[in-house]
Amino acid sequence: MVQCRYLKILITFGGIIELKKLNLRTPKPYDYSSVSGTDNSRAIFYCVSEGATEESYFTGIKNNRVELDIKNDVHIEVVEKEEGYENYSHPEQLVRACLYNMGRIDKEGNEISEEKWELNCKWNYRQEVDVVCVIFDRDYRGLEGCLSELFEVCKKHNIYVAISNPNFELWLLMHFPEIQQYDMDLLLRNPKNLRGQFFADASKNKKYIEILLSKLLQGYSKGSKIKFERFIKGVPLAIKQAGLFCEEFELLDESLGTTVGKLIKRMQQW
């Protein structure tokens, strides 16, 4: 059972655990004039991710904007977690950290009135142009009971939900041709390879999509940083193939798909 109280959350896994506050690193000031000839950015995308895989992927997007048709003055800020908080990755923790840095809630999670949002904002966030996004997996343990409330809070505060069902590895798999060749039920369930039932030559503890990626990349380890150069050429294909599946975050509670492609398209369209 999971109880959510507008981001003052108690989670029950055979007992009650209160989610601890996630602290994010303060983004360094960025000199936009060095890349765009202007002192201001067209837009800033603040990306707060569940883990190292997502962080390294979006760092790759940031560092290859020209090749990916993203304008130089569109800044992608991959917001890292403070030291000691790397394992604070529950999606509710990510959202709460965003709301705190946006000036929407205080340290205790209490709402701040709208007229004080700008005063309490910790980022150089401009509500009318900038985008705050959280990137996480649908299969995160204990997410079921609070996903709908998380969606509502994100809609209320214009936080983009970059969710993948079952996980971010589905998005990575879309960088390779013919995503539809795979069993859709297996992709959604993403079961472990117990007793080698799917791949006799793969680890029995790895899940279906991770094994597919490992075969395509000659090695892949979930939860680790990636080498973005292995994916950059496939980004346009991934965006196209994502359109074959669900791309509405409210429906990704149960449907196979991801909203990551729509996020990158949004970066490209500024």
CB contact at 8 A, 214 and 172: no
- Encode pLDDT of 173-205 as tens digits: 999 999 999 999 999 999 999 988 999 898 998
Cα(201)–Cα(228) distance, integer angstroms: 26
CB contact at 8 A, 135 and 109: no
- SS3 (DSSP) at 141: coil
Check pLDDT > 80 for residue 126. yes
- SS3 (DSSP) at 10: strand
- Encode pLDDT of 41-62 as tens digits: 789 999 999 999 999 999 999 9
Of the candidates 78, 140, 101, 132, which has an alpha carbon nearest to the alpha carbon of residue 21? 101
Confidence of residue 10 (pLDDT cuts 50, 70, 90): very low
pLDDT at 208: 96
Cα(116)–Cα(164) distance, integer angstroms: 33
Q: Please compute the mean of the pLDDT values over residues 214-228 and round it to a whole number.
A: 92
In residues, how long is the chain?
270
pLDDT at 34: 55
pTM here is 0.90
Confidence of residue 1 (pLDDT cuts 50, 70, 90): very low
| Highest mean pLDDT pick, 26-30, 107-111, 146-150, 167-171 | 167-171
